[in-house]
Amino acid sequence: MDSAQNLIATAYSVEDNFFIDLAPLDGNCVHPQTAGPTLFLPELPESGGREEGWRIKGFGKYIAVRHSIVLGGWGPGSRKWMAAWWMQIWDWQHSTASKSVLHGILSSETSSADDPSDFCFLENNRLFVVTENLELFSIEDMSQLLACFLLPISTTTIEIIYNPRPRTQAQGTTWISDPKDQLLSIVAWNPNVFFIVPTRIFFDLDFLEGRAVIPWQYWGPLNSRVFHHHWRCETATIGNRVFQGFPAIDMNMPADDVPDGTEYKLHMMDFSPLAVKRCQGVGQVVEEPSTIVLEGQFITTSLPYVGVTLERKFLYRE
C-alpha cells in the first residue's frame, strides 16, 4: 500500500499466470494514474512443485516483484541449498508490461525460497539488491550494474530494513529526512549480523574512482556499523535512526522458559551528523571504532552515532 499515492497493489496467481491488480485505497474504481488496472508478468518460470518465494515492493511510479525457486541441495550431505531468482520491474503509470528483468542463482544455509535475497528502491532512480553482496542499479538502465559493494562475510539469508517514507510530526507538518542522511539496515542470519549503512554512499559514486567492484575495506569500515544480531531482538530503521527492542531477560534463556508478559528495553541509535555534533546530554556519542568477530575475521567499523537506552520498559504489543 502507498497512502501518498492512494494506491493498493494486490499480487496473485491463477494457475501458471501471475498478476498485480492496482486500485485506489479509497474505492473500487480504477486508479486514475495507472496505465491499466492489472500488471502482467511476461513469463512465470515453472516451479515443478518446488518451494517458491515472492516479494513485492514499490516506490513512486515503480513496482517490483522478486520470484525465487528452491532448486535443491548443493551436494550429498551438504547444508547448502541452491535457489534461482528473478526480478521484474514495472513503471505502473506508463505500462502494464514489465520494463526490465534481473536474475541469478544463490546458495543459502536454508531451504526456504524467501530468504536468499532481498531488494529495495532508493528514492526513484536506484534499485538496491542484496545477494552475496550489495548491488546497485539505475532503474532507467537495468542492464548496467552501477556498483557492487563487497561484504566482509558470506551471507545470503538476509532482510533489508529501509523506510524512506515521509513522517508526520505532532504539529501536522510533513517532513522527510535528507536522503543523504537516511539509513539502510541489513539483518543477516548464519551468521547472525546486523549492518547499518547510510544511503548517501549509493548516491554519490564519485569516490569509487571508476571502480565497478568495491572491496569491503575500501567502503565499509568508515561508512557503516556492524553488530552481532540476536534473533529475539526486534529492529526498525526510520530515516537516520535505528530502533532495537531487547527482551529484559537473559537472551540465552530457552524459548519455552520465557515468561508471559516479558518486558522489552528500547535502544535507539541516531546516525545524523547533526545529532553527533550537537548532542547535549541526551544519550552517548559513540565515535570510537567497534569490532566483532565473524567467521574468524575481525570486522571493525566506526560510523559515528548517538546511542540512547530508555529507562522505561515496554510490553511486546505496545
Is residue 301's pLDDT more than 90? yes
Grid coordinates belonging to 258:
520465557
Contact between 225 and 305 under an 8 Å Cβ cutoff? The reply is yes
Name which residue leads in pLDDT, 72 or 84. 84
Q: What is the pLDDT of residues 15-71, one digit of tens each?
A: 777 889 999 998 778 888 999 999 987 666 666 656 678 889 998 899 999 888 877
Q: Could you tell me the pLDDT band of residue 203, with boundaries at 50, 70 and 90?
A: confident
Residue 280 has a pLDDT of 64
Q: 67-71, 194-198, 220-224, 277-281: which has the minimum mean pLDDT?
A: 277-281
Residue 1 has a pLDDT of 83
Q: pTM of the prediction?
A: 0.83
Residue 241 has a pLDDT of 92
Residue 167 has a pLDDT of 47
Q: What is the pLDDT of residues 88-135, one digit of tens each?
A: 899 999 999 887 778 887 766 655 545 667 899 988 889 999 888 899
Q: Could you tell me the pLDDT band of residue 168, with boundaries at 50, 70 and 90?
A: very low
Q: 245-249, 261-265, 312-316: which has the minimum mean pLDDT?
A: 312-316
Q: For 183-203, what is the mean pLDDT?
A: 89
